Structure 1
Amino acid sequence: MEMKKHEINVAVVGVGSMGKNHARVYSEIANLIAVADINEKQGKEVAERLGVMWYKDYHDLLNMNIDAVSIAVPTKYHYTVAKDFIDHGKHVLVEKPLCLDMEEAENLVSLAKSAGIVLAVGFIERHNPVVRFVKEGLRNKKLGKIISASSRRVSSFPSRIRDVGVILDLAVHDIDIMRYLVGSDVVSVYTVGGRNGESAYETHASITLKFRNGVVGYVEANWLTPMKVRKLWLTCTQNYVEIDYIKQSVRVSEARVMEHDSMDLFRVPFEYNIREFSLKKEEPLKNELHDFLGAIEEKRRPLVSGEDAVKTMAVAFSAIESLNTGEVVEIDSRT
């Protein structure tokens, strides 16, 4: 979708794998003023390509004429960097996960709310057009009600990840999407998985989610598959829905049994109604940053607010706890 350019001054802190793409998109849709990164080679390369200033220390940006900032530094620094910008009146988008513990995440939400600051969190798949398409179908009751959801998010080991495991890096996306589409809180989590190789964190996890409204979700994520897969399947009361995030396509299916000979179950005829939707390609990151800047201009909540991200974090941390203890973790009281 075509969107206007935002007359908002922005900066990016951390221009590694994701951050440099934030900078690229901002240069197209807003006024990118500067980037900051402690890696001089990395920072200068992005700054020179986009024609902006590079700073080694993000503190140099705090008192500049900047309205908003994307924070894409390692997760362990999210809280400190985000708090500094909130304290200086800057709107903030923090890459997921918001923080490494619930107390810090909840504190950021409280600080942003008190300061009247937009705090958005980078759950990029929420901005994929296939999610918008399916959410609309559920809202309009064209698909029926969700009974269960199952996702697979697998690929090979990423060199960029150092401080979190596969649950906070990959599975958290599907936890967020399921919460959004199901429209209900998760009340319990059970996880099995483990660690392969020399990783300090889990490299594969299978997570079962129980929602308050009775829906069950299954999340599979790993860094062990020599193939990138990003898919979601929904069993609904009226249709079976298959979502491919990479292809940005949706398949909606239903079938009914035709008249048949009850003594010949080998040849039972079915009537299938299968609809394929290949959506117009959109860059989810561009949608995400348009939404963030639009929230600032329109004084509204972003699609993924800090409060929303805290609820997803509670589920993700409970999934890690379940993996470590081997027990079902009840999270009703945490959300």
Structure 2
Amino acid sequence: MKIGIMGLGNIAQKAYLPILNQMNEIDWIYHTRNKETLKILKSKYNWDCATSDFNIFMNSGLDAVMIHTPTSTHYQLIKLFLNRGIHVYVDKPVSESIEEVEELYALAKEKGVVLMVGFNRRYAPMYQKLKSIPGKNLLYLQKHRDNVVQDSTFALYDMMIHMVDLAVYLLDEEIVASIPHVRRDNNHLIYASLTLHTKNSSAFISINMQAGSRIETVELMSEEGHYRTENMDKLTVTQGNDVRIEQFGDWTPTLEKRGFSQIIQAFISNVEHQQTPNHLQSHQLVETLVKCKK
């Protein structure tokens, strides 16, 4: 299988390249328009197949592509690859336009190719443990920042979408109702919350850009007990009077803790089996926050 890597900026360098360069069973080809970056990375990883020429990259016999370019470029690039029958993995979000997201999912279905979004939290081991717990009734998902000033739409699609998608993943039933709430100041996001209800459970999701700290927590309650994760690497389980703490060993790689190693393997498997995980609902729910005037 030949997979192209497009965009070699900060996210690609931190979260993907350290893993990809250990996967010798895949025929990788790398592309960035930044010739200096390409030169440095080509030397660092001893790449044979890397180019700054998009036409060479595009016509190199790709089976699939992983797109790590800015969000503003996603729509045109994804559409181009899908129309050529090339499977696509893209960093979240697909687009900040819900109309474009819906169009691209429809196109992927029409062409019979995979369109997968990089929601790594679904593959993080601590969150997969939460997924396996039966009888969930209440969930609290929080991702907060230390006094950051960001455009509201960007922050919602850049950060809040992670927790929204995680809630969609953790809930075991169809979502029947949602309640958005957003507070802005001069179009800068202050905080946002989204409540999701299923027949037998509810999830409360929040993001606070002025929290005074940077932390991500998920709490889950069921008849079996109370479960709390912190920053994807610690799980506290309380059952009656018994409290148990689970943590990773000292040698567990950070990218494995955060699900990046697993999501890359999942994409390859999805391509092999022609399976598309649908993250359209997560984008649609975030769009309710973008449009929320409260």
Normalising to structure 1: TM-score of the pair?
0.76
**Helix, strand or coil at the partner of 2:191:** strand
Query: Which residue of the partner structure matches residue 280 of structure 2?
Result: 310
**Helix, strand or coil at the partner of 1:243:** strand
- Between the aligned residues of both structures, percent identity stands at 19
After superposition, residues 36-115 of structure 1 pair within 5 angstroms as 36-52=31-47, 53-115=49-111
Structure 1 residues 135-179: Cα deviation after superposition (integer angstroms, max 9, x where no partner): 1222xxxxxx222211221234789x8895221111111111111
Q: Give the stretch that moved more between structures: 94-103 or 54-63.
A: 54-63
Structure 2 gaps of 5+ residues are none
Mapped contact 1:151–1:231 kept (Cα < 8 A): yes
Structure index of larger Rg:
1
Change (3 A) 1:56 1:158: farther
**Helix, strand or coil at the partner of 2:188:** coil
Shift of 1:195: 4.1
Mapped contact 1:165–1:202 kept (Cα < 8 A): no
Mapped contact 2:32–2:51 kept (Cα < 8 A): yes
Cα distance in 1 for partners of 2:148, 2:111 equals 36
Query: Which residue of the partner structure matches residue 260 of structure 2?
Result: 285
After superposition, residues 138-177 of structure 1 pair within 5 angstroms as 138=134, 145-156=135-146, 164-177=153-166
Query: Which residue of the partner structure matches residue 333 of structure 1?
Result: none
Query: Which residue of the partner structure matches residue 276 of structure 1?
Result: 245
Structure 1 residues 304-333: Cα deviation after superposition (integer angstroms, max 9, x where no partner): x2xx211000000101211xx11xxxxxxx
Change (3 A) 1:22 1:220: same
Query: Which residue of the partner structure matches residue 22 of structure 1?
Result: 16
Q: Give the stretch that moved more between structures: 25-34 or 13-22.
A: 25-34
Cα distance in 2 for partners of 1:162, 1:50 equals 36
Structure 1 gaps of 5+ residues are 1-7, 139-144, 256-271, 327-335
Q: Give the stretch that moved more between structures: 276-285 or 147-156.
A: 276-285
Change (3 A) 1:169 1:36: same
Task: Identify which of 192, 195, 207 aligns with 1:221.
Answer: 207
Cα distance in 2 for partners of 1:293, 1:157 equals 38
Shift of 1:289: 0.3
- CA RMSD of superposed structures (Å): 2.5
Give the partner amino acid of 2:5.
V
Mapped contact 1:12–1:22 kept (Cα < 8 A): no
Normalising to structure 2: TM-score of the pair?
0.86
Cα distance in 2 for partners of 1:163, 1:40 equals 33
Shift of 1:129: 0.4
Shift of 1:235: 2.5
Task: Identify which of 170, 189, 195 aligns with 1:203.
Answer: 189
